Amino acid sequence: MEPTTLTSITSGIFEQREQKRHALFSHIWKELIPKVFEDVPQYYRPGNIVASLGLWELWVWQFVRTIELRPSYRALDVCAGTNDVGIRLLQKEPDMTVTAIDRSKEMQEEGQKRAAKYHVHIDSIIQDVHQLPFADNTFDVITLQAASRHLQLDRVLPEILRVLKPGGHFYHCDMLKPSNRIVEWFYLKFLRLSVGLTALVFGSTDASRECGEYFKDAIHHFYTPEELSEVFRLVGFSNVTCKKSIWGGMVGYHNSQKPL
C-alpha cells in the first residue's frame, strides 16, 4: 500500500467524484438514512461516544472552540441533528441567535427537548438542506458538523456560500478520509466494527444495523482534509484553513470565509 493519497481537486474531478458518490449512495441517503435518524435521536450522543471510544466529546469541544462568535451574530447550524452544536454556541455566546435546519423531524424534536433542558432557544426548520430557505447574505456564521458525508457537496456548499454574509465564516467538522492510506485501512476496519458494536449495545433497528458497511464506504469515497480544503476553494470560499485531528486527519476542522 502506498503511504499517502495526494490528489489535486480540479472542478472536473470534483464533479466526477460527486457524481460517483451520488450514484453509489443516493438510494441510501434517500431511503435508509432517514430511517436511521428515526431510530437514534435519544441515544445519538452516547452512541457516538461509544462508537468513537470516547473521543466524540473531544471532537465536538475542539470544533466549537474554533468558532469565533460575537453578540448579535446570526448563526445557522446545517444538519443540526439534536442541536448539540447550537446549544454549545449559545452557551459560549448567549447574545446571539441560532437557527437549526435538518430534514429529520425526530432528531429536531429531541434537539428541542435538549435546548429546553439547557434553557436556550433555537429556531427549528425541518427541510432538506440542499436547498436552504433563506435569503442571500443572511448569516454571520454557518456550521456543519458530522453530516457532509451524507450530502451532495456540489449542491449544499454553494447554498451555504449563498446565504452566508460577505466576510462571514463557515465552520465545518466531519470524519474524513485519512491522508495516509495505511491509516485509512486500519480506520475503516475499526469503523465497521465500532458501528456494529454500537448498534448491538443500544438495540438499534435493522436500518441502523445495515449502515455499518455504508459508513465505511462513505469515508472511503469521501475527501481527505487537504482535498476538502481544495473543494471549498473551488466552490468560492476564501481564507480556507484546516486543523487535523489524530490518526492522519480522521477528523478535520475547516474554517473558511465568504469573500467581501
**Structure confidence by residue, pLDDT tens digits, 183-200:** 777 777 776 666 666 666
In terms of C-beta density within 10 A (0-12 exposed, 13-18 middle, 19 or more buried), how is residue 11 classed?
A: exposed
What does DSSP assign to residue 163?
H
pTM for the full model?
A: 0.89
Residue 66 CB partners (closer than 8 Å, separation 6+): 171, 243, 253, 255
Query: Could you state, in order of their start, the residue ranges of all structural domains in the chain?
Result: 11-257
> pLDDT tens, 112-170?
999 999 999 999 999 999 999 999 999 999 999 999 999 999 999 999 999 999 999 99
Q: Answer yes or no: is pLDDT of 59 > 90.
A: no
Q: Find, among 52, 67, 85, the residue nearest to 194 by Cα.
A: 52
The domain 11-257 is placed in CATH, from the list 3.40.50.150, 3.40.1010.10, 3.40.50.300, 3.90.1150.10, at 3.40.50.150
pLDDT of residue 159: 98
